[in-house]
Amino acid sequence: MSQKIQALGKLALVPVVQIEESNDAIKLGKALLDGGLPCAEITFRTESAAEAIHSITASLPEILLGAGTVLTISQAEQAVDAGAQFIVSPGFNRKVVDWCLERSVPVMPGVATPTEIEMALDSGLNILKFFPAQALGGVEMLKAIAAPYGSVKFIPTGGINAQNLAEYLKIPAVFACGGSWFVKSYLISAGNFSEITRLTKEAVSIVHQCRDLRGNP
């Protein structure tokens, strides 16, 4: 496991961010830092994604930054060229996975079934995105699907919020959780970065409480 991915596991929470205007990227990064969470996954759901990644990487190198919703090799190339340190995809795309592995770029593809988990294992991957977590059955489904795969850790994403975050983090197979409730695009577009910082602090507090209960450092 690379040091970058180990760092994600220690933080245990990944902001899944959709940025409409790249000019907001640095402000968002500072809001996350002020909230105690030096990482983010910028999704390729907007045309501003690559530029936003470049801006944050250049100005705030202390943030561990990745690219999400990566569907093609072209997007993976754009992301890495812009400074993304890891790649996340909603599903298991063999071409994207192979491209990343050939270049030693950490990649966490999405899985929803045992078949997809075994495809990822066959590629040498054991940290996988579980998506869309809540729609697939939430905590109980993740516990069930994780049970046969003791070497696999999951990053559940999709439908996670302040109310259910702790329940996911209590699952031993959970490496980290991905969430967008504290970095909603409307908060970014409205320039309400103080609220993003407040919600981030609240989320980080939940992470710390769960660590204390599990006896983790």
* Residues belonging to the active site: 41, 129
CA dihedral 174, 165, 192, 53 (to 10 degrees): 10
Length of the chain, please?
217
Quick one: DSSP state of residue 79? H
Q: Convert 176-208 to b/e letters by CB count within 10 Å (16 or more is b).
A: bbbbbbbbbbebbeeeebeebbebbeebbebbe
* Structure-token pair, residue 203: 């989320």
